[in-house]
Each structure stands twice: as structure tokens, then as C-alpha cells.
Structure 1
Amino acid sequence: MSFNDWIVEPNEALDLTYFINAISDDTFYHQHYQDVRVHWLDVFGRNGQQLIRQSRERIPMSALSILWYHFNLRHLEDIIRFLDHHEVEKLQFSDRFKLDSIVSIKTLFSSIDIIRECFDMLRAHGVHTRWRENIRPHIVSVTEQYTDILSKLYPLESIQSLVSQFLGSAPYSSYSIYMCTYIKPITVQLSKNAMATHQGPPGYMPLPNHIVNMCIHESLHGFNGSDEAQEEQKKLCEWSPAFNSKYQELLTKWQSGPEEFFVVGAEAYLSELLGHRTYEQCIQFLNLQNGGMSLSKEIYERLRATRPETNAGWKGYGSWLVHALKNREIAYK
């Protein structure tokens, strides 16, 4: 694997985990999969519906998908094998630490029987067989095209170099994109150099630069200094009811995390530096994303006006952001 490798591929374990969201009673997800939901809930019956609800109440499916990624689970059978008390107990200390950093071991053990029963139900009714026969071939066709296009038009090395320099961290050696059918309307950061996203409906492919911008977005999550920046954001919520209302809407209506304003502003800035968006397109993006993200736009405009990453002694985006928030150099309008 070389530095400039884009890896674009399907993943059954991830997709079938998001499938549980797609057929759940959560309208944020199932509104995109009405026909799928009607069919499979009829197959699973009332007990199956209850099992799906209980599983999602115990552990978010996005958290489980991150867990599967870190332990390199590829298929439904891998998940079921992993969800065995004895298998988890046999994990080495370093692996148990990795697990506990994603989903607490205590939470996993208290939920493991229900979660496993849910995935056993998918296997018993052949959901994985349908996925392999009807869905995987389409995703493979899309991913093969993307691998070729991204490698030719968007050299990963230059993108990773810019992002890592902006964050003040070391670059990663590759980037993995897992195309999934049942993930709408979210994209999930699996690690700093991997994400899961939707491959688009049959006959349509999302624009490659849109996919690349999403990769940049996901790479920014978890930036150094995020916790301190979030503390400043809480203070902003306290003295600005208007911002607090917008922030709560971001968390509830759009089901985003507390970093989203920070990440979206930085994404817009980097996408312009890379030539993926014009200034006008960045403004349009910031005005439309999640119903409009004014704080993100203020961050973007401040970055654009000052180009702070070009200054000597640059310590990374997080350090700059915390300083700017504390000193009211960035204000909510």
C-alpha cells in the first residue's frame, strides 16, 4: 500500500449494521427506506421489531460499525462470531483497550445477547444473502469506478498533506471509503483515514469532488483541542439563546455531533484551498448545510481572511480555534 492509495469498496458487516437503522422506527433513517422497512418488518414480525428497537436503545449502530471496522469484521458471520462472550473475553489487553475506547466493555457485555440475537435474526432470514446477490454487485461496480477516478483526479498525497498540516498532525498512509446502501442520511467517520457513506442510487454516482470533500470533513473530526473548543461553545450557548437554539437543533433535528460547526467551517476552507469549491460555492454550502450554519461561516471567513496555518509557530486548527473563540475573534451572527 503506497501513500497515495484511495481504497473504495463495499463492506457487508457495515452495511447490514446500518440496515438496522433503515428498518427501525426512527424516521430520521427509515424515511429513506420505506419499501425496505415494510417488507422486512413483515418478515421479522412483532418480536423482530422489538429486538431492533432494543438493540438500538443499547448501542448506536454507528458506534457498532466503528467497532466492526477497528476489528476488521467484513461479513455478517464475523459479527456473530465476535459477539460471543468468550471471544470478547479472549481479546488481548491492547484490543480490549481499543474496544473500550469505542463502546465501553461494560455496555457491550450488558447488551451482547440482544445485539447478537438481532444479527442472528438477519442471518436466519437471509438478509445477508440478499445483500450479496442484489446489492454487492452494484456497489462493486460503483467502487471500481471511484477508485480509478479518485486516483487520477485527486492525488491523495497532496490532500492528506494539506489536511495534516492544517491539523498539526502526521499524515496517514491511505484513505478507505466504504460505500453502503443502508447508511442514508448520514456519513460515519470510522477512523481518521476511513469513512462509510452512501454509494448513490442505481445509475447515479455522487460527484467525485463531493466524495473527497466528505473525506476531508470526516478526517477533521476528533481534532486536537476539540474538547476545549466545545467548552467555549458551551459558553456561547449560555450567553446567546439564539445560538443555543441553533446548536440544539443541530444535535436533535440533524443528529450531528458537538464538533459539527467547527468541522464544517474548516471543511469549507480546505475545499476552497484545494480548488474543490469556489468562494461562492462555499458560502452557498454553509448557508444550506443543516439549515444554515452561521458559526461555521464565521470560522470559514476568519480562516480565509487570515490564513493562520501559513504563520510560523502554527500549532494546528484546534489551538487556533480555541484562541479565536476565547477572544471573541469568531462571533455568532
Structure 2
Amino acid sequence: MQETLLGLSVGHLLPFTMSDSNSTDFTNPSTFILLGIPGLEAAHIWISIPFCTMYIIAILGNFTILFIVKREPSLHEPMYYFLCMLAITDLVLSTSTLPKTLSIFWFNSREINFSACLTQLYFILSFSTMESGILVAMAFDRYVAICDPLRHSTTLTNPMVANIGLVVVLRGAILVLPYPFLARRLPYCRTNIIPHTYCEHIAVVKLACADISISSYYTLSVEFLVIGMDVLFIAMSYTQILRAIFSLPTKDARLKTFGTCGSHLCVILAFYIPHLFSALAQRFGQNVALHFHVLMANMYLLVPPMLNPIIYGVRAQQIRDRLLQLFTHKGT
């Protein structure tokens, strides 16, 4: 009889069955087994090429943003401080998953320690929450800069930016803290096989042979408080921003003003659209292939860190100019 996992028949997907793994009763397994992308094992090497490319772009791009902002005193202002926070968050998010994913693809290194798995789970969720908060802070910065420009320098002072950053970090760290503790207390007496490339929260807790309703309710509550409220605040900010833009007298003035927040809008879309697709695939995609779920979950953690520095490098003139000056100076 084929075993089922997450409501799916996976006997034809797994290279080994539960009898080959730790099928005896255990409360906390010493290790989990990450399968990578179930059903696409033969293509792991080929899939690793775009994954590795996106990771390299994310690393180089975000470090470049940090280097340019640190190097140029003219960029020491709230918008670019928040951009640096975003770059650091993206670096942690991508690095928390990609090295292990690539080790699965390249070296078939599928084991991950139980505590390391919960740590990875915590870093992914907490820094995703922080990134959402940073996008709200950036929307607030654009709101003040466009709707009340005379008070921008007095409202968003360096201490205020630091306090906003601290609140964003604490919110992400504290709200996500119950996730690994709730997962740790669950008994895992079915299997220790995770059909994923990393320790994604839903994939982990669904392995438990106990009621996971507390984890599910807490997850929904946090998603509503974080994603729901953050999207609401961003929408409210941009409603006021668009009103201010359309009230400007000339078309050139409207385009120029809208251009100052174009980069941020692109970053918002790059973060929330993959998250939306991943969440919908988890909640309502029971008939969707398992490998599609896993690929979407990876895109959610790969695409924003790769695109964010590209978007700001292309659209933010100050960063683009400093980058060109840097390469021109090196070439002379």
C-alpha cells in the first residue's frame, strides 16, 4: 500500500518509502529528510542553474546597494536607510534556504537536524514578516515626502528611522517566536520525510500525528495581522499619494512625482504577488501538483531578493548614478 503525505499519494514520488526511513514512533525526530522537489528529482541539476543564478544576483545586488549607500553621504536619508534594511532582510531570507536547497540538488544532502529545521523555519517566517514591515515603512516615507514634503525632514529623523526599524525587527521576531515552539511540542510519529526543499512551516506541522489546529489558527491570525494590515496601510498610503499626485497642475509634475515612488511600487508587487500565489496554492490548491507548490514557495523567497536591487538600481537615479560613477572611476 502506498503511504500518503499531505493528502497526496506519494509512493511514486519518493525514492524510498517510510519503511526505509524512521517509521518507528518518535516524539521529536533527530533529523528530517528534505526531498527537494518531489517528482522532479531527475531535473534537480537543471533546476539548480536558475536557482543558483538568482541567488548570486541577489547576493551581489544587495551587497552593492549596501556598499553604495554606505559610501555616498548624499544617500544617507530615510528612503535609503529603509532600502538598506530591505537589502539585509533579503540577504538573510535567501541565504536561509538556498545553500541547503543547492546541497540537495548537487550532493543529494537531504538530512537536516530537527533543531536546525525549526531554526530555518523561524528565520524564514520572521524575516518575511520584517520585510513586509519595511515595505510599510517605505510607504510611509513616500507618503510624507509627497503629501507633506515640508515636514519630511522633521518627521523622519534618524532616531525616528531607527525606532521604526527596531519596531519592525521586534514585531517579526516576537510574532513568529511561537511557531517553532508549537512545532517542537508536536509528536512526529508518522514520518520524518518533508516533500520540500526547505523546512516550510505547513509542510513540517502536517507531518505531526496530533491536532495542529492551534498552529493553524495562530498562522491565520499572524497572516491577517501582518500581511492583511500591512497591505491595508500600504493601500491607504498610496491612496493619499495618488490623490496628491493627481492634484498637481501639470502632467510633467505628476509623472516626476509618481516616478519617485515607482521603485517602491515595483518592490511591493515583487514581494506580495509571489506570496499571494504561494499562500493560495497552499490553502486552495489541493488538486495542484506537489512540485508546483514547492516551486512557488521557492519563488517567494528567491524572486524578491533578486529583483529588489535590480529595481532600485534601474529606477532610482541616485543609485544608478553612483553605480555608474563607481564603474567609470575603476575603468579610468
The structure carrying a bigger helix percent of its residues is 2
Question: Whose RCO is larger (CA < 8 A, sep 6+)?
Answer: 2
TM range (shorter): under 0.3
- TM-score of the two chains, using structure 1 as the length reference: 0.25
Q: Based on CA coordinates, which of the two structures has the bigger radius of gyration?
A: 2
- TM-score of the two chains, using structure 2 as the length reference: 0.25
